Structure 1
Amino acid sequence: YQMYEYVTRELPALIEAKFPVIAGLRSVSGHSMGGHGALICALKEPGMYRSVSAFAPICHPTVSGWGETCFSTYLGDDRNAWAAYDATELVRNGAAKLPILIDQGTHDEFLAEQLFPQDFLVVCLERDFPISLRMQEGYDHSYHFIGTFIGEHLAMHAKTLYEVL
């Protein structure tokens, strides 16, 4: 199963074939590992998505325990190959710019040792990326967190998509 191919090729084609959407006008979002996936899909596919948002994404997996475990299993021991699937490294290495919204709970149990949104923010600011990283006081990694802010993510995507019409 190839999740990257599914998200960037198969799912968009299916949506465009089955729903009344404007072909090619897309945004992407995700939570945690899915947030990581949303970020890398948007950063690796210039022009495919008009905006990207994420809730508590794994922003720098090449330096996190989760990322090291996954990447060594799926990509082998060559850490240079891992950079192609690390949002922080993609931005550092010249990914095309697009609007990014990230919400991160301050009480997320994975924040300090797995997620590293501050690394991503620093690189985005260095490259003048249009990023909004919002640290949400008191929120953890749960779906209640997502439910609280999903409307704002949808509104950001709607605004970004509407601007190109």
Structure 2
Amino acid sequence: MRNIVLLTFLLILTNVFGQSKNDYKSIIEITITEYKTDNILIYERFDNKSLLIKIKESDSKNVELRNILFDKKKTETALKKLKNNQISDFTTLELNETEEKPIAYISSPIFSKNNTKAIIYGKQFIGGFTGNSSYFIFEKLDEKWKLIKIELERSVLGF
């Protein structure tokens, strides 16, 4: 049964969104590895809520985040489809199965209109009520996804 569900999920990803599982896997694993350098584990499910709010705020059919253009409808559909999905469907790297700290939550990747750039939105809890959120910005260079920049969105107390 799990194989049928996974196969259906893969077909949805590749046919509806035009991205391969390898695109998702590569970007997600780079993000997990980046957090792991600070001994922070990623929670096991995607958290797409913050990105969905940002996408819905746009009045046009295109959305610009961090100077990258996204198709609003396609991106919103992709985020809704993957909302609360298991990140382990895309990686074998260690994830945090509980909400113990230190922990980070990441969105599923979203891809630019021309499929050469992608963003993951991450929220990290440092301790107590302190945390920050960042955009992980990727670019496809020589057929491989590379993390080109991490842009801190905010760092706050009482997160």
> TM-score by structure 2 length?
0.25
> TM-score by structure 1 length?
0.25
